[in-house]
Amino acid sequence: MTATATPMKRPAKPAIKLTKLLINNEWVDPADGKSFETYNPATGEVIAKVAEAGAKDVDRAVKAARKALETGPWSRIDAADRGKLMFKLADLIEKNKEELAALESLNCGKTITDARGDLDGVLNTLRYYAGWADKIEGKTVPVRGSFLSYTLRQPVGVVGQIIPWNFPLLMLAWKWGPALAAGCTIVMKPAEQTPLSALRVGELAIEAGFPPGVINLINGFGETTGDAIVVHPDIDKVAFTGHVDTAKIIQKRAADTLKRMTFELGGKSPNVIFADADMEQAVNGAFHAIYFHCGQCCTAGSRLFVEEKIHKEFVDRLAAKAKGRKLGDPLDPSTEQGPQVSNEQMDKILKYCDIGQKEGAKLLLGGKRHGSNGYFVEPTVFDNVKDEMTIAKDEIFGPVVSVLPFKSMEEVIDRANRTNYGLAAAIFTKNIDKAHTYAKAVKAGTVWVNCYHIVDTTTPFGGFKMSGQGRENGEDALEHYTETKTVTIKLG
C-alpha cells in the first residue's frame, strides 16, 4: 500500500480491449446481453462499456470452477507446478507493468506513482504465495491407541471473491495469491467502478497457462452479481473487502449455505502523536496516514490524536503541508492527489464536511470540491473535533482528518478504542514504554510505530471487532483457503 515507485515519465494511454466476462478461459457475453459504463474519475468521461453478469453467468462461472477443481487438469497438478504458474503470471504482469499501472490510474483515479507502487505490491504478493504452493503441509498426530493419524490440508473449494475499487489489482492479488497457492478455483467480481485492470490480468493468466475454469472474472454490481455469488450453493467460501454494512448483508445472505467467510472491512483508525515524537517525522506520518490515495484506504489515519502540548504547532504544520498538495491529472507523474473514485464518493465526503461544520468542528482547511471537472476533493483538516461528532465516528473514505487533542496515555487509549472498528492504529513517540504500552492496549489488527500504511504481503492483515473476520497476507491467509482433514488408520 505504499508508493515505492520512483517518479517516471507519463505513461502511454492504455488501450481498452477487454470488456467481456472471463469464464472457463473464454471471453463471453452475458446471457441477457447487459452492460454498464465505466468512467475516468478525473474527467467524468465514459471510457468503456463492460459486460454485466447476471445470476445465469455466475452459475456458468461456478460450474467451470467446480469442474476445474474436481476433474480438470488443476485437480491433478503438482503443488510445485501451481507455484510455477503463479510465478509465470507475476513475470507477465511485470512485463506489462506500465500498461497495467496506466489502466489502473485511468479507471480508478489513483496517481500513476501510487499505481506503480500497487503493481510492486501485486508482484510481491503473487510471488510470496507462489512460494507457498508446495509448503502447505499437514501433521502426523500422536493419537491414543493402535492407530496412525495424520492431517491433510486441502483446498476449501470454489471461492467467490468480491473486491472494492480503491486498490483494484492489489486486492485481486491478495485474494488470488492464497487461493491459488492452496489449490482453490476462483469466481471473482471486481468492483463495478474499476473493472478494467482485472480483465487485462485475466488475459495474462490465460497466457501464463492457468487451465480453464481456475480463474473466472464476472463484472457487475453488488446487489445483483455480488449477491448471486453470495447465495450460490456451490461456492464454498466468500472473501469480501468493502463496507461493514455490505458485510452484514452478505453474512445474512450466506447463512443458508453456511459458507466460509472472510471479511476485510473499514476503519476509523487512531493515529496518536505524543509531544516527544520527532515533529517532522510525525507531521509527515500523519499527512501520509490520511492523504495517501485521497483517504480511500481502509487503514486511513482519520482520527488524529495530538498531545495538547504540541497541538497548535502540529496542526499548523499539517495544514500548511496539506495546502501545498498538488491535485490534478493522475497520469501526470508530478501529481500528488487524484480524484475520488466516483461522483457518489465525492458527494459522500462533501456531505461529511458539511456535517462536521454543523456539529461545531473547526474547519481549518479544505472542505470543498476542487475544480468543476472530475471528482476532486480538497485536502481537509478539521480541528478541535469531539469524540461524539459524526466525523469522528463514521468512515469518511476521503481526504478528511479529524484532529482530537489529548492529555494522557490512559485517556488516549480509552478514546482510541471507543469505536466498533479495529483495523489499524499508529503511535508517534520516541519513548519505548509508550510505544509498547499503546501497541499492546489498542484494539487493532495492525499497529504502526513511527510509520504509517506499511503493509507487506508477509505479515497478517485484518481487523479486530467490526473491521473484519480472518486475516489476509502472510501464512495466516492460507488457513482461510484450506480445510483440514484428519485421516486415521487402524494399525496391526
Residue 180: exposure state from Cβ atoms within 10 A (0-12, 13-18, ≥19) = buried
Instruction: Enumerate the active-site residues.
Output: 264, 298
Residue given cell 501464512 in the structure block: 475
166 lines the binding site for ligand NAI (CB under 6 A): yes
Of 163, 214, 158, 216, residue with least CA distance to 192: 163
d(CA 169, CA 115): 9
Considering only residues 335 to 354 of the shown chain, the ones binding ligand NAI according to CB under 6 A are: 345, 348
Examine residue 266 and tell whether it contacts ligand NAI (CB under 6 A).
Answer: yes
At which residue does the C-alpha cell 488475459 appear? 203
Phi then psi for 238, rounded to 5 degrees? -120, 130
| Nearer Cβ to ligand NAI (257/431) | 257
Q: Is 264 left (phi over 0), alpha (psi -120 to 50) or beta?
A: beta
Region near ligand NAI per CB under 6 A, out of 189-197, 282-290, 374-382, 454-462: 189-197
**192 binds ligand NAI per the rule CB under 6 A:** yes
Q: Does 164 participate in binding ligand NAI (rule CB under 6 A)?
A: yes
Q: State the minimum distance, in angstroms, from the CB of residue 165 to ligand NAI.
A: 6
Instruction: Scan residues 389-418 and list those touching ligand NAI (CB under 6 A).
Output: 395, 397
Stretch that binds ligand NAI, among 145-153, 185-193, 362-370, 479-487 (CB under 6 A): 185-193
Binding segment for ligand NAI (CB under 6 A), chosen from 16-24, 175-183, 243-251, 277-285, is 243-251
Nearest to 69 by CA among 204, 251, 216: 216
Q: Which helix (H) or strand (E) holds 23?
A: strand 21-23
Q: Is 246 in the site for ligand NAI (CB under 6 A)?
A: yes
Out of 122, 294, 298, 427, the only residue in the binding site for ligand NAI (CB under 6 A) is: 298
Told to check if 242 binds ligand NAI by CB under 6 A, we report yes
Q: Is 102 in the site for ligand NAI (CB under 6 A)?
A: no
- In angstroms, the CA 300 to CA 343 distance is 20
Question: For ligand NAI, which stretch binds (CB under 6 A), given 17-25, 103-111, 237-245, 472-480?
Answer: 237-245
Min dist. Cβ of residue 221 to ligand NAI (A): 6
Taking CB under 6 A as the criterion, the residue among 191, 294, 400, 444 binding ligand NAI is 191
Query: Which residue in the shown chain puts its C-beta closest to ligand NAI?
Result: 222
Q: Does 307 bind ligand NAI (CB under 6 A)?
A: no
* 221 in contact with ligand NAI (CB under 6 A): yes
Nearest to 298 by CA among 441, 417, 472, 116: 472
Among residues 219, 226, 217, the alpha carbon closest in space to that of 253 is found at 226
Give helix then strand counts, H and E, for the chain: 15, 20
In angstroms, what CA-CA distances link 150 with 76, 140, 142, 154, 490?
Answer: 21, 4, 9, 13, 12
What does DSSP say about strands 400-406 and 303-307: parallel, antiparallel, or unpaired? parallel
**Which range binds ligand NAI by CB under 6 A, 56-64, 94-102, 240-248, 364-372?**
240-248
Among 222, 295, 379, 405, binds ligand NAI (CB under 6 A): 222
- Number of shown-chain residues binding ligand NAI (CB under 6 A): 27
Supply angle C-alpha 9, 12, 16, rounded to 5.
145
Q: Which residues bind ligand NAI (CB under 6 A)?
A: 162-166, 189, 191-192, 221-223, 226-227, 230, 241-243, 246, 249-250, 265-266, 298, 345, 348, 395, 397
